[in-house]
Homo-oligomer: A and B are copies of this chain.
Amino acid sequence: KPHIDCITSRRTIRIPGLIDVHVHLREPGASYKEDFATGTAAALAGGFTMVCVMPNTQPAVIDKATLIVVKEIAKKNARCDYALFMGGTEKNFNEIPDLSSLVAGLKLYLNDTFTTLKMNDITMWGKHFEHWPLNVPLCVHAESKTCAAAILVACLHNRPVHICHVSLREEIELIKAAKLKGLPITCEVTPHHLFFTQQDLTWLGQQMGQVRPMLATEDDQNALWENLQVIDCFASDHAPHTKEEKRSDKPPPGFPGLETMLPLFLTAVNDGRLTLDDVVNRLYYNPKKIFNLPDQPNTYVEIDMETEWKVVEDNLFTKCKWSPFGGRTMKGSVCRVVLRGEVAYVDGQVLVPPGFGFDLRELQLRQPFQAPKDSHNSSLEGGRSTPMFGKTKELT
């Protein structure tokens, strides 16, 4: 990181330790791309003290045995706190509900993606929507008509659903209408869908530019910005692949994003496109509520809103060492991250070792009656009992 000295910086602001509810850390099975140690270092460098980790690893987290194995790996290697998702398959809908208190939530892949977890048959979706506990998040990769279909299935089963990486006008308008109708739908949008369009493929290249959902049109991008109030969360969908893989004949889809997401939004705050409250709501309060994540005592991030700096790919903590935002100038940076009283990151250095991170669900199981600790916005803090679905809370 370009040696920003935050102590002498003109203006630092303290915000909560942020939450990225959608990251792929590639371990087990592809730790040459990323692993828990490097991915959570990238998280801390990006201002995140909690991440929710996707299950499409090799093996995929679809049963108790694999969950236990991956929990062990995560426990030894994560530097920030985390919760692990389970993946739904055509077969596991009966067994996995018993594991629901141990995981971030259930992830269903309802569209073509870079995974073996795709479920085509709506009847099979229904089994998961029926069996998965109502109070544990159910997240879907569901684009376009599949997004509409997923919302209908949630509606028919009277349950909440969280729509991952919304990218199209038709999706965000549908979600808006669904929320107006009172359906408990929440959603997230990635920085790359907010800051890129398919026009950017001309310089990114068709290979490096591969991502799912694909980069969309300017009209789709405008729809996301116009409907900021409909967007509950920002999430990176941090999905690292090596440069070699991305440049190959069959480039796998996905961008790394943990280290560039917050700076992109801080730059947008500086540009007057949104407020810092808009950002903190979508990277902390709403994710915390929707995913029922605990307080982290003595945890905060110091950001500098003034300094301009350039993304240097070699300086990234992600193992893949590239970013579609490489070379981009940002105004706003992460100075320091304090996690449970420890300085976990400061001025370009990650200071906490692998294993410092906690499994948030295990923590919650050991402290089931944990009271809200953050008095600054008590209406938003309610522990596990009152999830705020379908609303985007504005800080007052």
Residues of chain A touching chain B, judged by Cβ–Cβ distance below 8 Å, are: 121-123, 126, 144-146, 148-149, 151-153, 155-156, 169-171, 173-174, 177-178, 181
16 sampled A-B residue pairs with Cβ under 8 A: A122-B144, A122-B145, A122-B170, A122-B171, A123-B169, A145-B145, A146-B149, A148-B148, A148-B149, A148-B152, A149-B149, A152-B155, A152-B174, A152-B178, A156-B174, A156-B178
CA A12 – CA B288 in complex, angstroms?
A: 71
Q: Return the chain B residue nearest A172 by Cβ.
A: B123
Q: Return the chain B residue nearest A147 by Cβ.
A: B149
- A-B residue pairs, 9 tightest by C-beta: A148-B149, A122-B170, A152-B152, A145-B149, A156-B177, A123-B170, A148-B152, A145-B145, A145-B146
CA A227 – CA B123 in complex, angstroms?
A: 14
Taking CB atoms, residues of chain B closer than 8 Å to A156 are 174, 177-178, 181
Chain A interface SS verdict (over half)? helix
CA A174 – CA B170 in complex, angstroms?
A: 22
CA A307 – CA B148 in complex, angstroms?
A: 49
Taking CB atoms, residues of chain B closer than 8 Å to A152 are 148-149, 151-152, 155, 174, 178
Copies in the complex: 2
CA A173 – CA B170 in complex, angstroms?
A: 25
Taking CB atoms, residues of chain B closer than 8 Å to A178 are 152, 156
Taking CB atoms, residues of chain B closer than 8 Å to A151 are 152
- Taking A145-B145, A145-B149 as given, write out 6 further A-B residue pairs in contact, using a Cβ cutoff of 8 Å, ordered by the A residue number: A122-B171, A126-B173, A152-B155, A152-B178, A155-B155, A156-B181
CA A88 – CA B144 in complex, angstroms?
A: 20
Taking CB atoms, residues of chain B closer than 8 Å to A146 are 145, 149
CA A181 – CA B155 in complex, angstroms?
A: 9
Taking CB atoms, residues of chain B closer than 8 Å to A126 are 173, 177
CA A145 – CA B119 in complex, angstroms?
A: 12
CA A384 – CA B122 in complex, angstroms?
A: 35
Taking CB atoms, residues of chain B closer than 8 Å to A177 are 126, 156
Taking CB atoms, residues of chain B closer than 8 Å to A153 are 148, 174
Taking CB atoms, residues of chain B closer than 8 Å to A181 are 155-156
User: Judging by beta carbons under 8 Å apart, are A148 and B122 in contact?
Assistant: yes
Q: Return the chain B residue nearest A178 by Cβ.
A: B156
**Of B122, B144, B169, B171, which one neighbours A174 at CB under 8 angstroms?**
B122
Taking CB atoms, residues of chain B closer than 8 Å to A121 are 170
CA A126 – CA B122 in complex, angstroms?
A: 22
Taking CB atoms, residues of chain B closer than 8 Å to A144 are 122
Taking CB atoms, residues of chain B closer than 8 Å to A149 are 145-146, 148-149, 152
Taking CB atoms, residues of chain B closer than 8 Å to A171 are 122
Taking CB atoms, residues of chain B closer than 8 Å to A148 are 122, 145, 148-149, 152-153
Q: Return the chain B residue nearest A153 by Cβ.
A: B148
Taking CB atoms, residues of chain B closer than 8 Å to A123 are 169-170, 173
- Kindly provide the distance from the CB of A286 to the nearest chain B CB, expressed in whole angstroms: 22
CA A149 – CA B111 in complex, angstroms?
A: 14
